[in-house]
Amino acid sequence: MEASMGRSAAMLGLSASLGGPEMELQKMLIDERMKSESHRTNYQTLKAEHTSLQDEFTRAQNELRRLLSERQTQQERQQLLLAELRGELLDKTRELEDLRLQIMTPQRLELLRAQVQQEMEGPIRERFDKLEEEAERYRSDYNKMRYDFTLLKSQFDHQREEHFRTLEERRIVYEAEICRLEKDREDLVAQYQGVDPLCDSKRVESLLREKAQLLTRLKGLETEVMELRAQRENSGQQAENVQRIQIRQISEAQATIKALEAERQSVRLQLERVETELKSTLEQNSDLTAKLHKAEREVNSLNCQIDNLKHSHKLELATVKLKCARSKAEVERDREALQAQIDGLQSDVEVLKASVERHKEVLVEKERQIGAGEPPCYIGTAEGATRHHCPGPNGGMGRANKERPTGRRVCQRELQSLRSKLHLQISQLDELERQKAEVAELKRQNHDLSVQLGTLSHTESVLTETNQRLRETLEKTREELRASHADAEKSQHQSERYNYMLQCNNITIHVLLL
């Protein structure tokens, strides 16, 4: 640029002695050269921007591949979790069948009565002598049961406090997540307020749909939390019912011990009391059967919840797959459009470079002729023309003076042609500027796609955290169900032992009556 300016200044100094038309022609040539230099700098700028856009497009492709691999790993984890839940469901079903087999049925009660009836034919007196020892053993068992009951009650209170604390922590976490989502929504609204709504209406609609989906998902999670709370309260009520039943059984056992101590004084009254206790035992068996049916219903409800979770996970995976496919197609289309535009720009730049070189050659030739004070000896056009030889110096100054106006007219025509070509180049540069603006718009769209990909990754992380929390809640519910089953088995064993004691009392009463 500095060299061209120096040459232009030299030409101005040389052409100072020329007339008005030659000076004007020289100025036009200098302006054309300066514009050519500015076109060259614009081409370098466009080339640098093209390189940066290619790098950014490569980074976007790498990010998309990484997100696809993460989605695949997330899908595999969910499948493993589903298989694990199915295995645990089968284990629960087997445990339910075992409990159903262990429950006291009328057939088993009749079989127990038949066995006791057969044992009545043995040494009844020795069995009667052992009743006192059994009463002492029952007292020790009662004390042990009371100690176990106190320990279980303290454990239950501790677990209940732990449940309340965990529930409060989850509520705080959910409120913090809701506040964060609200803040993100406000940031997005503030970010997109300055954007043209006509150009981004589709993106706004997609964001609104995603917001509605997130709100519905949040409501679903809140309903699930409420259901889990209700289940926890039901489990607590069941535990309290089991405790009341145990207390009632302990009190009944204590009453039975007192009845055994006073059976020598009132045999008939003890017989009536034993009959009433037998009725209460049958009621307890019916209560245990009802509890077993209730446990079966709970297992069925857990199965329904697992099915609902599987269905929701399938829907979410399908939605994520569809979004990824759409994003990939849009990125491919943008890449192809950018590549086509880059190819067109490169071809345009090559054409402009060739045209500028031709113009430079023509301008240099004219400058040389004007500097030498010779008339132009050829006619230059954009497509190239044949050179006309000038007469030698032997032609005379008169002929040179006659041909000077003709050469000036030729120069003016060539200058007019150069001006038209310059206007054409200016229009082409305007077209390049417009294409540059389109490239900037595509760059902004690429940035929007990267933001959407970030939103998708955040949604996947939220889903992963939600699945983890649901899994922990399910584990706690299973532990509570196991504890309830253990309490039911313990109550069943106590009932069987109490029935056996009642049968022994009946035998004793029959012996005393005899």
Q: Pick the range with the lowest mean pLDDT from 20-34, 50-64, 392-406.
A: 392-406
Domain-embedded: residue 87: yes
Give the residue-averaged pLDDT of 94-101: 76
Amino acid letter, 384: G
- Rounded to whole angstroms, the Cα distance separating 382 from 365 reads 14
- What does the block give as tokens for 156? 């239950």
Domain-embedded: residue 252: no
The helix/strand/coil state of 378 is strand
Measuring CA to CA, how many Å separate 91 from each of 86, 264, 296, 464? 9, 51, 13, 25
- Rounded to whole angstroms, the Cα distance separating 459 from 470 reads 16
Instruction: Give the model's pLDDT for residue 94.
Output: 84
**What is the tally of structural domains in the chain?**
1
Question: 26: burial class by Cβ within 10 Å (0-12, 13-18, 19+)?
Answer: buried
Angle among Cα 220, 226, 232 to the nearest 5 degrees reads 140
- Rounded to whole angstroms, the Cα distance separating 397 from 388 reads 19
Q: Pick the range with the lowest mean pLDDT from 30-44, 416-430, 490-504.
A: 490-504
Domain-embedded: residue 98: yes
> Where does the pLDDT of residue 180 fall: very low under 50, low under 70, confident under 90, or very high at 90 and above?
confident
> Where does the pLDDT of residue 382 fall: very low under 50, low under 70, confident under 90, or very high at 90 and above?
very low
Using the predicted structure, report yes or no on whether residue 57 has a pLDDT greater than 60. Answer: yes
- What does the block give as tokens for 469? 């929390």
Give the residue-averaged pLDDT of 3-17: 46
Instruction: Give the model's pLDDT for residue 315.
Output: 80
- Which pairs from 70-73 meet CB under 8 Å and 24+ separation? 70/457, 70/460, 71/320, 71/321, 71/324, 71/460
Backbone angles phi, psi at 378, to 5 degrees: -150, 165
Give the residue-averaged pLDDT of 464-493: 70
Instruction: Give the model's pLDDT for residue 397.
Output: 46
Which residues touch 189 (CB under 8 Å, ≥6 apart)? none
Domain-embedded: residue 448: yes
Instruction: Give the model's pLDDT for residue 503.
Output: 64
Using the predicted structure, report yes or no on whether residue 7 has a pLDDT greater than 50. Answer: no
Taking each helix axis from N to C end, the angle separating 267-372 and 2-14, rounded to the nearest 10 degrees, works out to: 20
Higher-pLDDT residue of 279, 387: 279
Using the predicted structure, report yes or no on whether residue 2 has a pLDDT greater than 60. Answer: no
Give the residue-averaged pLDDT of 93-116: 72
Q: Pick the range with the lowest mean pLDDT from 179-183, 209-213, 485-489.
A: 485-489
Instruction: Give the model's pLDDT for residue 268.
Output: 63
Domain-embedded: residue 193: no
Q: What is the pTM of this model?
A: 0.26
Using the predicted structure, report yes or no on whether residue 483 has a pLDDT greater than 50. Answer: yes
| Share above pLDDT 90 across residues of the chain, in percent, rounded to a whole number | 0
| Share above pLDDT 70 across residues of the chain, in percent, rounded to a whole number | 63
> Where does the pLDDT of residue 12 fall: very low under 50, low under 70, confident under 90, or very high at 90 and above?
very low
Using the predicted structure, report yes or no on whether residue 34 has a pLDDT greater than 70. Answer: yes
Domain-embedded: residue 184: no
Give the residue-averaged pLDDT of 404-411: 63
List the domain range (segments joined by +) for residue 318: 47-118+267-347+438-513
Average pLDDT score, the chain: 71
Among 161, 202, 219, 182, residue whose Cα is nearest residue 466: 219
Domain-embedded: residue 75: yes
Domain-embedded: residue 254: no
Using the predicted structure, report yes or no on whether residue 130 has a pLDDT greater than 50. Answer: yes
